[in-house]
Amino acid sequence: MGIRIIIDSTSDVTEDIIKKHNIKMVPLTVNFGEESYKDKIELSSTEFFKKLVNAEKLPTTSQVSPGTFVETFSEILLEGDQILGIFLASELSGTYDSARIAKNMIGSDNIQIIDSKSVCLGAFALILEAIKLVEQGRQIDEIVEELEKVKENIVAVAGLDTLKYLEKGGRLSKGQAVVGSLLNIKPILEIKDGKLSVIEKVRGKNKTIKWFDEWIEKNEFDLSNKTLLLFYAQNYDQLKILRKALESKYKIKNIIEQEVGAVIGTHAGPGVLGLGFLNK
């Protein structure tokens, strides 16, 4: 009996990692008016951002339903594997609760569900740790116990290029968005314990990259034994500048680049730069 990892699409795990480790990805749904798309299956990141910039109204996103999880879990259990589900923060979506409902409906002890308390690159970092523990041949209960401990050490920050989508989504007033745009303000967000908060405001893209560098130095993070996740949205040139700056200064064990998907892109918009890792 093996252990099969199940994730949702908001973790933005790269396709090669999903294939290499036989991970099952369950998509959330992105809704543009009357049109609905399964994230990453029916709508790629590139296609999403093309639609986003032309959309009059901000798209909405829908959680994975309990029924979808029941179907997915049942298929894997029939194959004889145990299930390790790692999903985005319960504070940000009902997807984790849907997975718990499905687990209770099936009533199997071979299903373990974890609330990552993060999203996107933070959840990705925890999933990489899960992959490592599975490959070490650990028992599923031991893996869950370890992940519950280390998820407190998830580090995930992101710099936004525009306030437009926070305003469209009702997380910022129109007046605040206008003033912020006039002053070229770029908010830095932190994802911690399932909550999203603004921890800094800088002016200009170049200042955002400088902030990442100074923030790592200030916190004395040792990146020499870590996998660093760098995320972007339609601004790969900026990511390359950030990567070069960090590689020239820190001895980083490994770097994975990924463009954010539709769910994160809906709220962050194009131009976001993100950085994350597991600080253990």
Using 50, 70 and 90 to split pLDDT, how confident is the model at 263? confident
Nearest of 31, 46, 35, 41 to residue 9 by alpha carbon: 41
Q: What angle do CA 213, 214, 216 make, to 5 degrees?
A: 70
On whether both 170 and 258 belong to a single domain, the answer is yes
Element (H, E) at 127: helix 121-135
**What is the tally of structural domains in the chain?**
2
Picking from 99, 121, 150, the residue at the C-terminal end of a domain is 150
Span 12-18, average pLDDT: 97
> What is the CATH classification number for the domain harbouring 165?
3.30.1180.10
pLDDT at 171: 47
On whether both 125 and 14 belong to a single domain, the answer is yes
Span 155-183, average pLDDT: 62
The answer, yes or no, to whether residue 181 has pLDDT greater than 80, is: no
Domain span holding position 158: 154-278
Structure-derived torsion over alpha carbons of residues 267, 259, 240, 250, reported in degrees to the nearest 10: 90
On whether both 159 and 143 belong to a single domain, the answer is no
> Pairing relation of β-strands 154-159 and 185-192?
antiparallel
Structure-derived torsion over alpha carbons of residues 49, 51, 55, 59, reported in degrees to the nearest 10: -70
- Bridge-partner residues for 25, per DSSP? 7
On whether both 140 and 161 belong to a single domain, the answer is no
Tally Cβ neighbours within 10 Å of residue 228: 23
Strand order in the sheet with 82-87: 24-26, 3-8, 82-87, 111-115
CA distance 123 to 140: 18
CA distance 279 to 156: 10
pLDDT at 167: 58
On whether both 181 and 260 belong to a single domain, the answer is yes
The answer, yes or no, to whether residue 180 has pLDDT greater than 60, is: no
On whether both 36 and 136 belong to a single domain, the answer is yes
On whether both 139 and 159 belong to a single domain, the answer is no
Tell me what the pLDDT averaged over the chain comes to.
90
Picking from 150, 183, 212, the residue at the C-terminal end of a domain is 150
pLDDT tens for 92-110 read: 899 999 999 999 999 999 9
Using 50, 70 and 90 to split pLDDT, how confident is the model at 80? very high
